[in-house]
Amino acid sequence: MRTLLAALTMGASLSFPTTSWTVAGPAPKYAVASMPAALRENAHAVVRRHEETLTVKSVGRTVETLRRAVTVLDEAGSRWASELVYYSQLNSISYFRGSVYDAEGRLLRQLRAADVQDISLSDGFSLASDARGRVADLSQPTYPYTVEFEYEVVSDNPLFYSTWRPQPVEQLSVEQASFRVLMPTGLPLRYQEQHLPAGAAQARRTQGGQEVYEWQVHDLAAREEEPDAPSVAEVTPAVLTAPAEFEVEGHAGRLASWADLSRWTYELNAGRDALPPALQAKMAALKQEVPDERARIQKVYEFLQTTTRYVSIQLGLGGWQTFPATSVAANGYGDCKALTNYCKALLGAAGIRGHAALVRAGSDEQDIRVDFPSSQFNHVVLCVPLAHSARPDTVWLECTSQSNPFGYMGGFTGNRHALLLLPEGGRLVPTPRYGAPENRRERLADVFVDAQGNATATLRTLRTGLEYDAVADLPGLDLAEQKKRIGSRLSLANFALTKVAFRPTPPGAAVPGLTENLTLTLPALAPPSGKRVFLTPNLLSRWSAPAASVGERQTDLWLGHALTYTDTVRLHLPASLQPEQLPAPVQLSTQFGTYSSRLHTLPDGTLQYIRRLQVPRTRFSRTEYPAYLEFRRKISAADKAQVVLLKTDA
């Protein structure tokens, strides 16, 4: 099945036959009793049959067919009761059929035209966004049941071949699945196999003037979800395929290397960066007005942000080829390619050279497979090397955002690879890396407790880097929505938020940041228990320990988000409450991170709690999981530690 990325960047017509699929014969199909019992273990659904075929007709056309039957065992597996088939200007759906069967394999009903919805799949940033989809849902109220879908898509955008992932998620088992690729003789197939079990490697044969490649898997047990694990796509069977040669609407290309893809994309967009004379002159004047290179880039970027907006309008080849810069200048809008090309032209007029770069964008997206040159991208950004900087440096610009801080990629396009588009053929380069020093959360809390255990508090929290991403839009919301969003994030049992204010980090910081100032009331924060009061000084940053693995862990340990958290909590107590017992300080230093916590008394009697946690972004062998689990358990215990206060007036 095509990946979402490929589907979003494909192209298509709206042809769609609506005839129902008539099942041949009344014999039961996919009875649950005939399924191996082992496939039900840890599974919410079972793929009974998955047959996928990619037929490459020529360098300019492919046909993809898929037939998949899935037994849905419970509500958590009901996602498999629906199917979404992508199409666009360069891809058309030949047919889309479906049936649903009960537990005994008896046909319940077939998919009808009225069951199919047509939806837009524009995501607001992708290279090609004319993608649409036909979606159908055959879910049933009683489990188990089996759904079967079948469709064919004809594509005139053969830059994308299929990616076969028969087991794309956890808690899904596979009874049998196959993948075939039919290539014209003389046109080679490029492919990469990943995590295939023994016996699944491709078999190749010649058949009727075609080269046939085939892969099969069967009886794949469901994988359990494991905490802090890599994406399931990294550990389950897959076959990636890509063309060696392709042609899109008359534009031919090769794809043996990243340089090939870069060169083809660059040539497709060359000569579209001319600016209107007045705008050209305005940008050229900046060379004299703003001699500092970085400051001049920022001036141009701010001009872009204040005079343009993002509109997703590309169709067909326009998913790859930009509108001319003159069009953006005249209309004030463009898609990601057009705005990047326009910003590149503005910078060029201001005496600064930039390069468009393809990237796979998305806060939840994995990095591309750098060892398999292919079209794995869905977005374009601008890379601007500083030619006259005292030290080598690069500015990266997100040209579709009117609010993105200058030079900041964040979790949307940071920490991954991008492909520079150069006339001689570009290369992969890393986008900005955001590690523990950049991803900071620094909190200062002053908590005023009265003799009855009620409290008020002021919280000042600075978030930078990827921690900033989660709160960047808060200042633009109305107060009610701000309180709702902030309140959902505060791990307090009982509180009222009385004041909210924000202050952005001053311009020029290495990474953007936002300081959040809150005032709260905390009724019954520490109610007396006889002569004593028990209070947990770590109010807001408690970490729980992940679950221990049941049996041997299957996946590596992946810590995907580096961070540095610092919490300072000052407990202001009435004279009638005196500390009787303070928790012991804790200091942990491991390969998984460092942690410390300490509570001490200041000269004025205030209790001050300081907690520091730093975690790297890295991967460890699965054999390290017990040690990591112990690290997390010690943090969890330290975070729950209480101070015991004695009531002197009791």
- Which residue, chain included where needed, has tokens 């030949």? 94
| Ranges of CATH 3.10.620.30 domains, the chain | 269-430
Question: Tell me, what's the pLDDT at 126?
Answer: 55
Question: Tell me, what's the pLDDT at 236?
Answer: 95
Segment 174-180 shows an average pLDDT of: 97
pLDDT in tens, 601-642: 999 999 999 999 999 999 999 999 999 999 999 999 999 999
User: In terms of Cα–Cα distance, which of 568, 560, 549 is closest to 612?
Assistant: 568
Question: Tell me, what's the pLDDT at 20?
Answer: 38
Question: Tell me, what's the pLDDT at 288?
Answer: 93
Cβ neighbour number for residue 144 with a 10 Å cutoff: 19
Q: Which amino acid is at 578?
A: Q
Q: What is the pTM of this model?
A: 0.90
Share of the chain above pLDDT 70, in %: 93
End-to-end CA distance of the chain: 72
Segment 138-149 shows an average pLDDT of: 97
State the DSSP string of 519-566.
EEEETTSS--BTTEEEE-S--S-PPPPPPPPSSS--S-EEE---EEEE
The pLDDT-based confidence of 243 (bands split at 50, 70, 90) is very high
CA distance 344 to 355: 7
pLDDT in tens, 94-136: 999 999 999 999 999 999 999 999 988 765 555 545 678 999 9
Residue 62 has pLDDT above 70, yes or no: yes
Q: Using CB atoms within 10 Å of the CB of residue 356, give its burial: 0 to 12 exposed, 13 to 18 middle, 19+ buried.
A: buried
Residue 8 has pLDDT above 50, yes or no: no
Question: Tell me, what's the pLDDT at 23?
Answer: 44
CA distance 538 to 609: 8
What DSSP state is assigned to residue 52? Answer: E
pLDDT in tens, 325-343: 999 999 999 999 999 999 9
The pLDDT-based confidence of 14 (bands split at 50, 70, 90) is very low
Segment 531-559 shows an average pLDDT of: 91
Q: Angle at Cα 347 formed by Cα 274 and Cα 263, nearest 5°?
A: 65
Residue 15 has pLDDT above 60, yes or no: no
3-state class (DSSP) for residue 293: helix
* Token pair in block for residue 512: 């953007």
| Assigned fold of 269-430 | C8orf32 fold (3.10.620)
Of residues 589 and 403, more confidently modeled: 589
| Ranges of CATH 2.60.120.1130 domains, the chain | 440-546+554-647
| Assigned fold of 29-224+234-248 | Immunoglobulin-like (2.60.40)
CA distance 187 to 161: 13
Please report which helix (H) or strand (E) contains residue 303, including its range: helix 293-307
552 φ/ψ sector (left φ>0, alpha ψ -120 to 50, else beta): beta
Question: Tell me, what's the pLDDT at 69?
Answer: 98
Q: Which amino acid is at 45?
A: A
Sheet-wide strand order for 132-137: 82-87, 132-137, 116-120
| Ranges of CATH 2.60.40.3140 domains, the chain | 29-224+234-248
Please tell me the CATH code under which domain 440-546+554-647 is placed: 2.60.120.1130
CA distance 556 to 368: 19
Average pLDDT, rounded, for the chain = 91
Share of the chain above pLDDT 90, in %: 81
Question: Tell me, what's the pLDDT at 648?
Answer: 87
The pLDDT-based confidence of 534 (bands split at 50, 70, 90) is very high
Residue 534: strand pairing partners: 644
pLDDT in tens, 408-467: 999 999 999 999 999 999 999 999 999 999 999 999 999 999 999 999 999 999 999 999
Contact status, residue 169 vs residue 232, Cβ threshold 8 Å: yes
CA distance 499 to 517: 8
